[in-house]
Amino acid sequence: MGEWKTRADLRYAETDEWFAVDGDVVTIGITDYAQDQLNDIVYVEFRDAGDALKAGESFGEVESVKAASELYSAVAGEIIEVNTALEDSPETVNADPFGAGWMVKIQASEQSALAGLMDAAAYDAYCDSR
Amino acid sequence: MLQPLIYDIGSPGRMGVNLPECDVPKVELPAALLRQELALPEVGEVQVVRHFVKLSKLNYSIDQGLYPLGSCTMKYNPKINEDAARLPGFAQLHPLTDESGSQGALFLMRELQKWLGEISGFEAVSLSPAAGAQGEFAGILMIRQYHIDRGEGQRDLILVPNSAHGTNPATVTMAGMHVHELPSDDQGNLDTSALRAACEGELRDRIAGMMITVPSTLGLFETTIREVIATVHEAGGLMYMDGANMNALMAAVKPGALGFDVMHYNLHKTFSTPHGGGGPGSGAVGVNEKLAPYLPGPIVEIVEGGDLPRPTPSPGPFPSELGKGSPPTISPPSLLGGDTGGGETTEPPLYGFVMPEKSIGRMKAFHGNFGMHLRAYAYIRVYGDSGIRDVTRFAVLNANYLRAKLMETYIVPYPRYCGHEFVLEGHFEDADDIHALDISKRLMDYGFHPPTNYFPLIVPEALLIEPTETETKADLDEFVEAMESIAEEARRDPELLRKAPLTAPVRRLDEVRAAKELVLCCAPALPR
């Protein structure tokens, strides 16, 4: 299949979100593999800052010319910031999925779920197998 | 090749009819009721005809050739359906005509209810939903109400496989319930261990039911379907079958007999009613005895004289031409429960609209899309019992023939016998940056409608191909040749695919811009 990038400092979910941990704050986006599979992203919608999330709950959705997909947070906590710039320029997710294409920041109430996520090597292997 | 809108042709004051002199006092409409922005086209009859004939020539339809749009069952629509629908006794019947004046139409609707029930093994059928998605909505509302009436209103989860049509999760959400998605296994079947985990775990008491398509959207028969149905039933849930793929099952498998509680039919797919240009569709729902009281209404029943033997439809309650002379020479399809024989002399029964006892209500004004009921009735009537069986057989044969032929050139992710459709992967190891969309667009240059793209979502670069039963071997071979030729071009001259279509009225459209900039009104139609 195609070629995609991963970043060694991130954790990855089977549902193709990445998680960056900085103290209690976890930033979430979708992977390069996911944006490549989705093709041109035309619409994003996130829940609001202040909303509480359970682990595994959806924090929004992303829509491309091919498909609409739910976005899931592996960690529980409160959404403290939403990347509202993406609403006007969703193509940023395609261009820079690990950088400017970040989606939400969560004040995590517990981080144990992160241990169950994949590291970059495991996620690479997982994508390869699909 | 852009065509002007009808508003852009013609000139002020031009019209297609000459009205007689006004013989009553002329009254101006109140200014407050006049909307200046709603311009009317000012054209003569010949301009109207030419305008629309030109547009129609830019179109592609099943009457021109193969239309392998997977999951849509774009079969040829027999023209006798149109004859039936244009019989004046039906075509001129006002929807508000009382029951005594519409017995023929009611008779036909009741026959169709019975035949659809017989074909799928269901107790009762309502014809009222206007399309497949509305049939789904009706089905899930019935399941919801069933649980509420049993004091189990906490059941709010519907299991949906990840291969499902997008309408399934949308339906669940519309009905105020929640989706629990289930994965597929490497054979393309539903992952039964994930199903058991859901049905036997902590969610058990929240499971209201499951929506599943058979054969699946991959075109594969769910070989574990009996186990799936039993598992959901044991958890207290009901089984909804998405009937979109009935063209692979008719007269071969009865979903009701398998244990499904409710399904919708797509008359505009399986039963050959028109499918493009807005149809309209028709999404009848069939249910077993558990859900029969909840059917959306009204449905047609015998309201008087039901215990009497029914007379032949001719010349009694049948309207117009069909009732003239001798009864139709085609014998009623025995398997389909046509009980029109007998020639009794007793009074004909009175058919009427009734609302089922605990009906979820109306889905649509009047009686559903009656014109589609007529066409589906004609279709079943013409084919009869054995003909319907042949429809299924040839649909499955045609799909398997194409699959076997195309496997030589394309990746077929699930290389097992398929139902009425199958999935290819629209990319090649040795052709860089060629996608399913490029192949589809190039097919247009070969004179074919493209297959369904990027669905089901679980197959990369999916091309979902459904030839239907109405294509000959020669038609199928032409399609295979085109696909093989495109595969060769992908290696030799990939730009040809990326630039396609080269011969269509418009070239490659900008899908991203179309999705992001929703401009639905053309500028010239705005006030001039």
The reply to whether A37 touches chain B by the CB within 8 Å rule is yes
User: Is A45 a residue whose pLDDT tops 80?
Assistant: yes
- Total tally of structural domains belonging to chain A: 1
> Is A122 inside a domain boundary?
no
For residue A99, what are the domain limits?
11-110
Is there a contact between B512 and A130 if contact means CB atoms under 8 Å apart? Answer: no
> Is A115 inside a domain boundary?
no
The reply to whether B330 touches chain A by the CB within 8 Å rule is no
**In this structure, are strands A41-46 and B178-182 parallel, antiparallel, or unpaired?**
unpaired
pLDDT, residue B511, reads 86
> Is B28 inside a domain boundary?
yes
Q: What percent of chain B lies above the pLDDT cut of 70? A: 90
- For residue B144, the Cα-to-chain-centroid distance in whole angstroms is 24
> Is A116 inside a domain boundary?
no
Token pair, residue B481, equals 């040749």
Q: How close B426 comes to chain A (CA, Å)?
A: 12
> Is B42 inside a domain boundary?
yes
Is there a contact between B516 and A43 if contact means CB atoms under 8 Å apart? Answer: yes
- Total tally of structural domains belonging to chain B: 1
Q: How close A65 comes to chain B (CA, Å)?
A: 6
CATH at A103:
2.40.50.100
pLDDT, residue B501, reads 97
The reply to whether A130 touches chain B by the CB within 8 Å rule is yes
d(CA B481, CA B461): 21
In this prediction, residues B74-78 reach a mean pLDDT of: 96
pLDDT, residue B521, reads 65
| pLDDT tens digits, B484-493 | 999 999 999 9
In this prediction, residues A90-98 reach a mean pLDDT of: 96
> Is B14 inside a domain boundary?
yes
> Is A127 inside a domain boundary?
no
pLDDT, residue B279, reads 75
Is there a contact between B515 and A66 if contact means CB atoms under 8 Å apart? Answer: no
| pLDDT tens digits, B337-350 | 445 444 555 678 99
> Is A35 inside a domain boundary?
yes
d(CA A40, CA A49): 26
Q: What is the mean pLDDT of chain B?
A: 90
CB B302, CB B351: distance < 8 Å:
yes
CB within 8 A of B299, min separation 6: which ones? B113, B124, B125, B126, B127, B128, B353, B354, B355, B356
User: Is A99 a residue whose pLDDT tops 60?
Assistant: yes
First to last CA, chain B: 24
Token pair, residue B206, equals 């929240």
The reply to whether B512 touches chain A by the CB within 8 Å rule is yes
Q: How close A106 comes to chain B (CA, Å)?
A: 24
Is there a contact between B512 and A65 if contact means CB atoms under 8 Å apart? Answer: yes
Q: What is the torsional sign of CA B112, B116, B121, B125?
A: negative
Residue B312: band (very low, low, confident or very high) from pLDDT cuts 50, 70, 90: very low
Closest-approach residue (CA) in chain A for B413:
A130
- Pairs of residues, one from chain A and one from chain B, whose beta carbons lie less than 8 Å apart: 22
> Is B168 inside a domain boundary?
no
Is there a contact between B516 and A130 if contact means CB atoms under 8 Å apart? Answer: no
For residue B44, what are the domain limits?
6-58
**Distance set, CA B417 to CA A36, B96, B402, B515, B518 (Å):** 31, 49, 11, 37, 42
Instruction: Give contacts of B 405-444 with A, CB under 8 A.
Output: none
User: Is B247 a residue whose pLDDT tops 50?
Assistant: yes
pLDDT, residue B330, reads 40
> Is B247 inside a domain boundary?
no
Of B121, B73, B83, nearest in space to B374 by CA:
B83
d(CA B456, CA B468): 18
**In this structure, are strands B178-182 and B157-161 parallel, antiparallel, or unpaired?**
parallel
> Is B21 inside a domain boundary?
yes
| pLDDT tens digits, B163-203 | 899 899 999 999 999 999 999 998 889 999 999 999 999 99
**B274: Cα within 13 Å, side-chain hemisphere:** 16
d(CA B486, CA B483): 5
| pLDDT tens digits, B458-495 | 898 999 999 999 999 999 999 999 999 999 999 999 99
Is there a contact between B512 and A42 if contact means CB atoms under 8 Å apart? Answer: yes
Contacts of A40 in chain B (CB under 8 A): 511-512
CB B212, CB B232: distance < 8 Å:
no
Q: What percent of chain B lies above the pLDDT cut of 90? A: 76
| pLDDT tens digits, B19-38 | 899 999 999 999 998 888 77
